[in-house]
Amino acid sequence: MKTEITSISKELLQKSIDAEKLRYCYGCGTCTASCPVAKVIPESFNPRGLLQKIFFDLSKTLAEDELWLCAWCYSCYERCPQGIKTTEIFLLTRNLAVEKGYFPKQPTNLVKQILKSGRTLEVTPARDRKREALGLPKIGETVSEKALREIKIITEKSPTWRVRG
């Protein structure tokens, strides 16, 4: 157990975050009490529990869907009395999960959409015509060619993006 804790902290630290602080968690549950997701689906998401799982059993946690349920509201981050950067820790843990090959279905589609259009949501020609009819500027199915090219150059260097794109 001890070895794993050390290696986890190290791995997270390498990603330039103060995961060191994870060990300061005394389990007060302010995060869970503040969490909008835990409020409505307590059976599926519990940030205090998730933090403890990340700390004590990382390899198992990487495969769990719970990791992808944080909605990024920063309520727990704002309120943690120990200053633990919960939201960022969840994000870095997702990075580790992705590195280990755990990739939920939706983000894969998202990667494809971004590489194709430069946006997370698709603007079909019909949507664009609707924009025009409403008096908004047409924006096309993709962002500018230059922007799209730059996205491609940046993401080509990432193994994750190469595999999923």
Residues forming the site for other proteins (CB under 8 A): 15-16, 36-37, 39-41, 44-45, 65, 68-75, 77-78, 87, 91-92, 94-95, 98, 103-107, 110-111, 114, 118-123, 127, 130-131, 134-137, 139, 143-144, 146-148, 150-151, 153-155, 157-158, 160-161, 164
Q: Minimum distance from CB of 115 to other proteins (Å)?
A: 11
Rounded Cα–Cα distance for residues 103 and 63 (Å)? 9
CB-based contact 151:118 (threshold 8 Å):
yes
CB-based contact 133:125 (threshold 8 Å):
no
Residue among 2 and 105 whose Cβ is closer to other proteins? 105
Q: At 65, is the secondary structure helix, strand, or coil? A: helix
Q: Minimum distance from CB of 28 to other proteins (Å)?
A: 17
Rounded Cα–Cα distance for residues 68 and 94 (Å)? 7
Q: Minimum distance from CB of 32 to other proteins (Å)?
A: 14
Closest CA to 65 of 102, 111, 10: 102
Q: Minimum distance from CB of 130 to other proteins (Å)?
A: 7
Residue among 13 and 28 whose Cβ is closer to other proteins? 13
